[in-house]
Chain A
Amino acid sequence: MKNLNFITKILHTKFLKEDPHGSLHMPVYDNVTFEFKTAEDLELAFAGKKPAHMYSRISNPTVEHFEQRIRAVTDARGVIALSSGMAAISNTILTIAKTGDNIITSKHLFGNTYSLFEQTLKDWGLEARYADLTNAKETLKLIDERTRAIFLETITNPQLEVVDIQALSEAAKSKGVLVIADTTMTPPYVFSAKEFGVDIEVISSTKWISGGATSIGGVIIDHGLYDWNRNPKLKRDVVKYGPFAFINRLRREVYRNIGACMSPHNAYLQSLGLETLPLRVEASCANTFKIAEFLNKPGQVKSVNHPGLKDSPYYETARRQFADKPGAVLTFDLGSKEQCFKFMNGLKLIRKATNLHDNRTLILHPASTIFCEYDDETKLQMGIKDTMIRLSVGIEDSGDLIADIEQSLGRVR
């Protein structure tokens, strides 16, 4: 059968090797090393000429099956699973760039990603150049001969800004620059990154993919669109590995040496999570629309931000890219930080916790938590206001969620 749909492909991805016991789920291979019959076989495996796992920091059957499932639904050239979403970003950047290079991104980023660029990698000589990525023309002006990538979030967290990815990737391609997209808020099933010209997709699979915050994980997807000859660091890999230059350098050097591999147990949980991803995405997105519409009624809150609302400046772009699933995160503003805290403390059902796409609805005050390390001016540049509340909407009954929000808003007003 051909052209199976997402959930069918996930559920019926074949094992690369038949399980001796006929297990329907890929078992957890919670071992470190793998034995070979001969020294010659071991040599071939190390040369990449025999399909075999050698050491679980580099590859492992359970982790590989999770990777294969993602590859099956993305038609990717290669997929690598890592210990976290931040590991996915850092491993990608370390594979494509070196001291003196630069990447172009936005200040509207997840706080830890901004910190990675502005602190951790800056100390190693990588420059992050900040642009308004919604303006492709302006973004292009920052490109020079040391630009190695444009890095974007498909829906920024928590500003909920949506870039026209096709326009940006076409502009990047005109200059031969790689496009890396963090699709955590719009994972495969919601967004077909390859169709919009994204070269490398990075995901915090901790969020939606894991099955409701079961485990920490990250994914790197090479969509096979980029000509790696354009990247000076990968030139020698292109000679030997052609189109697999990036994925091979990653697997056999950066990923191997950094050691941020996904654990087999996490891969098992995340693989189970993939099986229900479409069901949970549909439920969370539907709930988000209902809550956004409720909050958008006159007099409820100062303002509501969700790219699925028709008054959002990103409505058309979000519709084109994510159809009827523009994420399950919304933000809204109250009158002050004190009002935000009072509202949060008055909730009886919604949980105060820092994560996205748990099965439960989670609430957070971004300015005092995930952006607490930044001064007021930086927060302003990053679009973080003291009056903003972020809601990651889960799969509970929407009526119960709205009732909880309504009763707590009543205490604030």
Chain B
Amino acid sequence: MKIKINGREQEVSVTDLSIAGLLKIAKVESAEMVSVQLNGCFVDKADTDKTFVKDSDEVDFLYFMGGGV
């Protein structure tokens, strides 16, 4: 499937990919500090393993540096 990560389209071969899984395969830096937006909506930290991405989704990894996650 094709998904947009931080505005760049990328091909992902994994199926049933959760946000938690995407954080790993995309090798997201300081993953414990990142806030994830899926199609413009924030994903609660507690829900990253039960929220799944699908074809054409847009995912943004955001950092509020300095004490904000």
Q: Which residue of A lies closest to B28 (CB)?
A: A51
CA distance A67 to B64 in the complex (A): 12
Contact with B along A118-148 (1 / 0, CB 8 A): 0000000000000000000000000000000
Known: A17-B30, A51-B29, A51-B30. A64 touches B65 (CB 8 A): yes
A window 205-224: CB within 8 A of B:
222
B62 touches A49 (CB 8 A): yes
Known: A16-B33, A49-B6, A51-B33. A248 touches B64 (CB 8 A): yes
A49 touches B60 (CB 8 A): yes
Q: Which residues of A contact B42 (CB under 8 A)?
A: 242-244
Q: Which residue of A lies closest to B41 (CB)?
A: A242
Known: A49-B6, A242-B42. A79 touches B60 (CB 8 A): no
Q: Which residues of A contact B33 (CB under 8 A)?
A: 16, 51
B65 touches A63 (CB 8 A): no
Within 8 Å by CB of A244, from B30, B60, B64, lies B64
Q: Which of A20-28, A70-78, A184-192, A317-325 lies at the binding interface?
A: A70-78
B67 touches A80 (CB 8 A): yes
A159, CB-defined interface residue at 8 Å: no
Known: A16-B33, A17-B30, A244-B35. A51 touches B65 (CB 8 A): yes
B window 51-69: CB within 8 A of A:
60-69
A251 touches B63 (CB 8 A): no
Q: Which residues of B contact A80 (CB under 8 A)?
A: 66-68
A247 touches B62 (CB 8 A): no
A50, CB-defined interface residue at 8 Å: yes
CA distance A311 to B66 in the complex (A): 44
Contact with A along B21-49 (1 / 0, CB 8 A): 00000000110011101000110000000
CA distance A96 to B27 in the complex (A): 36
A270, CB-defined interface residue at 8 Å: no
Known: A51-B30, A244-B35. A79 touches B67 (CB 8 A): yes
Q: Which residues of A contact B68 (CB under 8 A)?
A: 77-80, 222, 244, 247-248, 251
A48, CB-defined interface residue at 8 Å: yes
Q: Min CB distance, A213 to chain B, in Å? A: 23
Q: Min CB distance, B27 to chain A, in Å? A: 12
CA distance A302 to B30 in the complex (A): 59
B66 touches A48 (CB 8 A): no
Q: Which residues of B contact A349 (CB under 8 A)?
A: none
Q: Min CB distance, A201 to chain B, in Å? A: 13
Contact with B along A63-105 (1 / 0, CB 8 A): 1100110110000111111000000000000000000000000
Within 8 Å by CB of B66, from A50, A67, A76, lies A67
A44, CB-defined interface residue at 8 Å: yes
A window 53-68: CB within 8 A of B:
53, 58-60, 63-64, 67-68
Considering the complex of A and B, which 7 residue pairs feature the smallest CB-CB distances, nearest first?
A67-B67, A78-B68, A79-B67, A51-B30, A59-B66, A242-B42, A59-B65
Which A residues are closer than 8 A to B by beta carbons?
16-17, 44, 47-53, 58-60, 63-64, 67-68, 70-71, 76-81, 222, 241-244, 247-248, 251
Which B residues are closer than 8 A to A by beta carbons?
6, 29-30, 33-35, 37, 41-42, 60-69
